[in-house]
Structure 1
């Protein structure tokens, strides 16, 4: 199943549908009986995927000789984007990444308010 899934994604990429190709390859599909579970990061991706799902189902059903195959799409929005809006927030984030930033700030007498 995974081989045919990948072949379909590559075929879409060759036709110029790069977004759909990347959506199909973003996660590995999981086969549970005749149901394929697939996880996407947001609702927009799900809508794009569902527009191509009929073609994908036709490809999979034909090549796998199983017309009972269905695809279940799940959205996993647990990934949180943390955005830094103030200078202090940005400084704190950089300080987490590299504690030597505080040494640089104190050595040169830099002020965050400026």
Structure 2
């Protein structure tokens, strides 16, 4: 099942449907009986996924020769990486990459 899941994602990516491809690849689905459980990071992703689910179901049912397959979508907001950067954190990170940023800040008396 996972092989055909990834093949379908690749096929969508080749056709330019990058959002759906990324939603399919965001996590590996789990198979419980004939139900495929797929975790997504938020409700917006779930809505996008559900709008395209019929093509995926048709592809999987045909290639796996099992017309009882269903897909259950679970929203799990913990899989989403959240970063809260303050302006000082951003400056410090950029300064690590390019130390000349500190010189620029001092030369022009810039605030962070």
Please name the residue that 1:26 is paired with: 26
Please name the residue that 2:46 is paired with: 46
* Partner SS for 2:72: strand
Q: How does 1:1-114 map to 2 (within 5 A)?
A: 1-78=1-78, 79=80, 81=82, 83-85=84-86, 90=89
CA distance in 2, matches of 1:10, 1:86: 38
CA distance in 2, matches of 1:21, 1:7: 10
CA distance in 2, matches of 1:82, 1:7: 32
Q: Which has the larger radius of gyration?
A: 1
* Partner SS for 1:81: coil
Distance 1:3-1:82 versus aligned 2 partners, 3 A rule: closer
TM-score, normalisation: structure 2: 0.73
Q: Which runs of 5+ in 2 are unaligned?
A: 93-111
Q: CA RMSD in A?
A: 2.2
Q: Which runs of 5+ in 1 are unaligned?
A: 95-113
Please name the residue that 2:100 is paired with: none
Q: Displacement, 1:81?
A: 3.0
Q: Displacement, 1:77?
A: 1.2
